[in-house]
Amino acid sequence: MGRVRSIEGRWRYIVFQIMSDKELEYEDVARDLWSVLLKLFGEVGVSFMNLKVIDYDKRSGFGILRCTHKTVDIVHAGVSMISEIRGTPILTDIKKVTGSIKKARETVEKLKIQVDR
């Protein structure tokens, strides 16, 4: 039996990094990310993304976002537009886009090792 495709279509997992002087909490990152995307694309636009902040590691700044494959570009643009979280200036960088959560987590682990070196 073939794989059942979800009603939203294919997912994409965006591995991102937030660079800042302070450690940021998952809740703050998720809230400000949603806020920026809502301001930029509106409620209808964001609804097409089926966005979810899956992981965020406050120590390394690496995180994983999930969205539909058709909205990867605009989510990337939206993430790039975030300039501060809770008043802390930040710099965001998209590291990789994958088709599976497993691959995204592997990428994060590899990147963390590179940062620790």
Partner 1 sequence: MQEAQLNRRLKFVETHVHLGSAFSQQRFFEFASKLGFNVLFITSWEGKINGIEVFSRINLKGENLAQMKKMLGEVREKAELVAVPCLNREVATWAARNPDVDIIYFPSIEHYRYLDKSLVRLSYEGRTAVEISLVPLFECEGVKRAQAFSTLRKAATVLLEEGAVFFITREPKMEYELRSPGSLIAVARLLGIPREAAIRAVSFYPLTILEWKGYEGFRKE
| Amino acid of residue 55 | D
Structural element, H or E, at residue 44: helix 26-47
- CA separation, residue 101 to residues 36, 65, 110 (Å): 24, 10, 14
Smallest gap from Cβ 76 to partner 1, in A, equals 4
Shortest separation between residue 1's beta carbon and partner 1, angstroms: 25
User: Could you say which DSSP state residue 69 is in?
Assistant: G
Q: Which tokens belong to 2?
A: 């073939």
Considering only 32, 51, 61, 92, the residue that binds partner 1 (CB under 8 A) is 92
Going residue by residue from 57 to 86, which x/- string records binding to partner 1, judged by CB under 8 A? Answer: ------------x--xxx-xx-xxx-x---
- Binding residues vs partner 1 (CB under 8 A): 12, 14, 19-20, 39, 69, 72-74, 76-77, 79-81, 83, 89-99
